[in-house]
Amino acid sequence: MPNEHQKQYLWWQDGIIYQVYPRSFQDSNNDGIGDLRGIIRRLDYLKWLGVKAVWISPIYPSPMADFGYDISDYRNIWSPFGDLADFDDLLQQLHAADMRLILDLVPNHSSDEHPWFVESRSSRDNPKRDWYIWKDAKPDGSPPNNWLSVFGGSAWQWDETTKQYYYHAFLVKQPDLNWRNPEVVDAMLNIMRFWLDKGVDGFRVDAMWHMIKDSQWRDNPHNPEYKETMATYEKLLPVYSTDQPEMHEIAAKMRKVLDEYDERLMIAEIYLPVHRLVTYYGTHEKEAHLPFNFMLISLAWDPRLIAAAIDEYEAALSKDDWPNWVIGNHDQPRITSRVGAQQAKIAAILLLTLRGTPTLYYGDEISMRDVPIPEEEVQDPQGLNMPGKNLSRDPERTPMLWDSTNNAGFTDAQPWLRVDRAFHRRNVQVQKPNPLSALTLYKSLIDLRQTEPSLMTGAYTPVCSDHQMIAYIRQAEGHTGFLIVLNLTHRPCYFTPGTILFSGTIVIDTVPEQLGAKVRNKIDLSGDEGLVVRLEEWQSVSSNPSS
């Protein structure tokens, strides 16, 4: 029973979020593409795993040029995924299981096949003309400025019919909406209400930092650190095309819509340095509850860098800002492919023991890897538009590996994207009973985290870090504390902190032989070992022995 002095936390603060990429989670009607009924079929698994909320990447009608991030109707379901009745069923069943549903909201752009854009491009004086961003060519016919598309090439597309350019931060088929037009703002806020009225528990807002652009349309400067291996978009620094001050008013308006309802959540997809990222919590007015923190994705796997980044983030948050952590999503190479299977277990411990809401990417819990997709089978536009740079996101979007049957239990048909050929030995069914598996580690971490207030919501205290290791303590007032020690290298390392005395029992360990071991004041770690110690006692000792 919580005592009356204990702070109450909201579901998105002490719960875990799980991202489902709907095309690849579970097919229920054998067309090779995952669907809503498939997700319903797997709710028992998600409940067993212990997650609180499911975030589903876009499920709306779409020509699928960017696999659903190009929406042609914001108020319906893409038919291969199901229909609104399936959606209501999914929502109802999630709620019945005491879980929540987060939808992807894509407000920065629509599909060029959305009726709004079809109207907008039909003539210069169409009432929807100003819903998108249209500009005249420069006198020599070239685009209005040098801005680049994230997916390669210029961000401006010439329209022969009306003889103007339109702006697309992503694909030509994803024209940007004009968020300086109040009609666009109203339309999108009403779309949010449509889904909130149905009972969805929140949104993950796509590309929030792109939504408002410089009012003077100035050229972006060149990036002095650009290298040929990077995406062409990175040739310029997007200082005028993203992260504009006016965006905060819009974010506050979106937040107000959520606050018309009970306990709804706004997550914002934002790739910015920490000091810019935290401004999206809102300074004058409330904005996102959780601006996604991608630090563990962006940083090199170096304990000193990571320890410093954790401190930088903790320091940048104000008292009311709730932290969050992510190690994978549908746009980034999987953690197992970035750091290897052994270190991916260390990443799992980090993700599930740092302070703040963790977001898991489907399949990371069974250490799914990026699957090599032959060049001729690449479907992701990022890969197709910038060939030769290995930038396709298909490898991290392959079907979930459930069991050892046909296509890993994902479908009986030809799957839309190749299934990992190692699925016989790497799948949920094989890993569940195996005490050494990634899934068993995830499950133990989640169980521990969700029963221990110190790990769920307790304070973060750094202990030490060096070229091999990171160590920290999590403790909630009045509760048993936990010491986490992680070796980010393959060689043994020695945890002998000068700054604390402690004793306790190892309750999680990537080296299972150590489970239950008593430790006191120092720990010798094997290569790739990460562990969690339930502390019996601990105290700081002064670094100055004479004081």
Catalytic positions: 206, 260
Contact 539, 501 (CB under 8 A): yes
What are 205's two structure tokens? Answer: 């807002």
Residue 104 or 321 having the CB closest to ligand NOJ: 104
State how far the Cα of 323 lies from the Cα of 315, in Å rounded to an integer. 11
Residue 362 or 502 having the CB closest to ligand NOJ: 362
Residue 150 or 354 having the CB closest to ligand NOJ: 150
What are 450's two structure tokens? Answer: 């969700």
Contact 374, 351 (CB under 8 A): no
Residue 294 or 460 having the CB closest to ligand NOJ: 294
What residue ranges in 466-520 does DSSP mark as E strands?
Answer: 469-475, 482-487, 493-495, 500-509, 518-520
Query: Could you count the other beta carbons within 10 Å of the beta carbon of residue 312?
Result: 13
Instruction: Report the nearest approach of ligand NOJ to the CB of residue 379 (Å).
Output: 13
State how far the Cα of 414 lies from the Cα of 427, in Å rounded to an integer. 19
Q: Applying CB under 6 A, does 179 fall inside the site for ligand NOJ?
A: no
Identified binder of ligand NOJ from the candidate list 331, 403, 412, 536, rule CB under 6 A? 331
Residue 64 or 519 having the CB closest to ligand NOJ: 64
Site string for ligand NOJ, 515-534 (x = CB under 6 A): --------------------
Q: Applying CB under 6 A, does 170 fall inside the site for ligand NOJ?
A: yes
Q: Applying CB under 6 A, does 423 fall inside the site for ligand NOJ?
A: no
Q: Applying CB under 6 A, does 254 fall inside the site for ligand NOJ?
A: no
Contact 516, 546 (CB under 8 A): no
Site string for ligand NOJ, 76-105 (x = CB under 6 A): ------------------------------
Contact 378, 359 (CB under 8 A): no
Residue 234 or 331 having the CB closest to ligand NOJ: 331
Instruction: Report the nearest approach of ligand NOJ to the CB of residue 303 (Å).
Output: 28
Q: Applying CB under 6 A, does 297 fall inside the site for ligand NOJ?
A: no
Instruction: Report the nearest approach of ligand NOJ to the CB of residue 432 (Å).
Output: 30
Is the C-alpha dihedral spanning 69, 73, 75, 81 positive or negative? negative
> Taking the mean position of all CA atoms in its chain, how far away is CA 30?
28
For the chain, the first-to-last Cα distance in angstroms comes to 42
> Taking the mean position of all CA atoms in its chain, how far away is CA 293?
8
Q: Applying CB under 6 A, does 167 fall inside the site for ligand NOJ?
A: no
Instruction: Report the nearest approach of ligand NOJ to the CB of residue 170 (Å).
Output: 4
> Are β-strands 500-509 and 469-475 bridged in parallel, bridged antiparallel, or unpaired?
unpaired
Site string for ligand NOJ, 258-277 (x = CB under 6 A): -----------x--------
Identified binder of ligand NOJ from the candidate list 64, 106, 185, 196, rule CB under 6 A? 106
What are 112's two structure tokens? Answer: 């060029």
Q: Applying CB under 6 A, does 207 fall inside the site for ligand NOJ?
A: yes
What are 49's two structure tokens? Answer: 């795993």
Instruction: Report the nearest approach of ligand NOJ to the CB of residue 326 (Å).
Output: 12
Q: Applying CB under 6 A, does 206 fall inside the site for ligand NOJ?
A: yes
State how far the Cα of 472 lies from the Cα of 482, in Å rounded to an integer. 8
Residue number, nearest CB to ligand NOJ: 69
Q: Applying CB under 6 A, does 66 fall inside the site for ligand NOJ?
A: yes
Instruction: Report the nearest approach of ligand NOJ to the CB of residue 223 (Å).
Output: 20
Contact 40, 89 (CB under 8 A): yes
Among the listed residues 103, 108, 4, the one whose alpha carbon sits nearest the alpha carbon of residue 53 = 103
Catalog residues that contact ligand NOJ under the rule CB under 6 A: 66, 69, 106, 170, 206-207, 269, 330-331
